């Protein structure tokens, strides 16, 4: 019996690090340059921080930040948690907004940078598999990040 496909989070970053491409460029942008290992570390750390605040699978996070780093790392962190990132939602579980970015979840608010650092103590690992339809939905919604990373190419975002 064939095994289930590994999770999207695992295929986006972890697999490249495991296969010896840790130092290869994963993101190339005038405001952000990261290797696969650096992006894995940051997204897993932020996912750990978001998880500490209560964000989990199937939760919705609204992202309203002009920062390229905040967008890239937040989307990848949410994928690690199985959460969804939207530009707008009626009742999101969390909102990331501003520059410098703040994360608001319920009555709690915390600096994005502080959550990134706090999550380093308990980074989120990639789930073994995704729920049905999750990977396809996220891949379509965030194709500019997902497609190149799945192919092992660096993400090249417009300025």
Q: Mind listing the pLDDT tens digit for each residue in 18-52?
A: 999 999 999 999 888 999 999 999 999 999 999 99
Which residues contact residue 149 at a Cβ distance below 8 angstroms, ignoring those fewer than 6 apart? 12, 13, 16, 26, 155
Cis peptide before 120 (omega within 30 of 0): no
Mean pLDDT, rounded, for 91-101: 92
Helices (runs of H) and strands (runs of E) counted in the chain: 7, 8
What distance in Å separates the CA atoms of residue 48 and residue 148, rounded to the nearest whole number?
Answer: 24
Question: What pLDDT band is residue 3 in, cutting at 50, 70 and 90?
Answer: low
Q: Which two tokens stand for residue 64?
A: 């309203």
Helix (H) / strand (E) containing 46: helix 36-53
* Number of neighbouring beta carbons within 10 Å of residue 148: 18
Structural domains in the chain, sorted by start:
8-122+130-156 (3.40.50)
Question: What pLDDT band is residue 12 in, cutting at 50, 70 and 90?
Answer: very high
pTM exceeds 0.85, yes or no: yes
Mean pLDDT, rounded, for 65-93: 93
Strands across the sheet containing 60-64: 84-86, 60-64, 94-97, 102-105, 108-111
């Amino acid at each position: 019996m064939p095994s289930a496909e590994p999770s999207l989070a695992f295929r986006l970053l972890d697999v490249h690090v495991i296969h010896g491409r840790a130092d290869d460029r994963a993101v190339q942008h005038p405001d952000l340059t990261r290797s696969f290992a650096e992006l894995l570390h940051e997204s897993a750390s932020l996912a750990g921080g978001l998880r500490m605040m209560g964000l989990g699978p199937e939760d919705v996070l609204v992202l309203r930040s002009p920062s390229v780093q905040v967008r890239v790392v937040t989307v990848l962190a949410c994928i690690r948690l199985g959460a969804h990132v939207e530009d707008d939602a009626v009742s999101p579980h969390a909102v990331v907004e501003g520059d410098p970015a703040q994360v608001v979840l319920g009555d709690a608010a915390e600096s994005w940078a502080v959550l990134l650092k706090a999550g380093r103590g308990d980074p989120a690992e990639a789930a073994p598999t995704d729920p049905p339809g999750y990977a396809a939905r996220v891949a379509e919604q965030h194709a500019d990040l997902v497609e190149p990373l799945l192919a092992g190419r660096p993400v090249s975002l417009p300025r």
